[in-house]
Amino acid sequence: MRIPFLALIVVPLAELYLLFAVADLIGGLATLALVILTAAVGLSVLRYQGFSTLNRANQRMAAGQLPGQEIVEGMMLAVAGALLLTPGLITDTIGFLLLTPVVRKRLAKRAISKGSGFFVGGFASGTRWQSGPSNSRGRGDIIDGEVVDRDAPPRDSTLEHNSDDERFRH
């Protein structure tokens, strides 16, 4: 709890100090232009990297694989975008590092290998899926059946839809 709180205090102070130091060296307007330029360039690179990551995720899903690496990289790209939109040179530097594919891939692999249970084996690792209601108590018999609505009018199974049906009128 202390580290995020300290980061919320220390990072903005360091950003201000660095911005003033750079402004003393190159001037205030040039520093402002630099901050705006880094945000614009970073967001355009972010857009390209985001589409690239999305395409790789789609390819992995089409191959029947879970795109765990791509999901982690996508989260890192979101963080990079937030950092690039935050005015400051330190956050821009960290954001640009996260936009670099080599750095992002290594950090993503490290995050996955450190093994939070969320990433190991994919989303549903160790989860049993069922199509019916949950029997969370673990008691009782499970009876497989089919619900029949006796009040509903009989349906002609040979027709896909009735042309008189209001749902199919244009």
Q: Are the CB atoms for 63 and 94 separated by under 8 Å?
A: no
List the structure tokens of 78: 């979101």
| SS3 label, residue 144 | coil
Q: pLDDT at position 126, please?
A: 47
Number of domains into which the chain is organized: 1
The answer to whether residue 145 is domain-embedded is no
State mean pLDDT over 106-114. Answer: 87
Give long-range contacts, CB 8 A cutoff, 24+ apart: 129-137. Answer: none
The answer to whether residue 66 is domain-embedded is yes
List the structure tokens of 70: 């791509």
Domain limits at 77? 8-113
**Rounded CA gap, 76 and 147, in Å?**
46
The predicted model scores a pTM of 0.61
List the structure tokens of 33: 């232009």
What pLDDT digit, counting tens, does each position of 17-59 carry?
999 999 999 999 999 999 999 889 888 888 888 888 888 888 9
What pLDDT digit, counting tens, does each position of 114-128 carry?
765 554 444 454 445
The answer to whether residue 79 is domain-embedded is yes
The answer to whether residue 80 is domain-embedded is yes
End-to-end Cα separation, the chain, in angstroms: 59
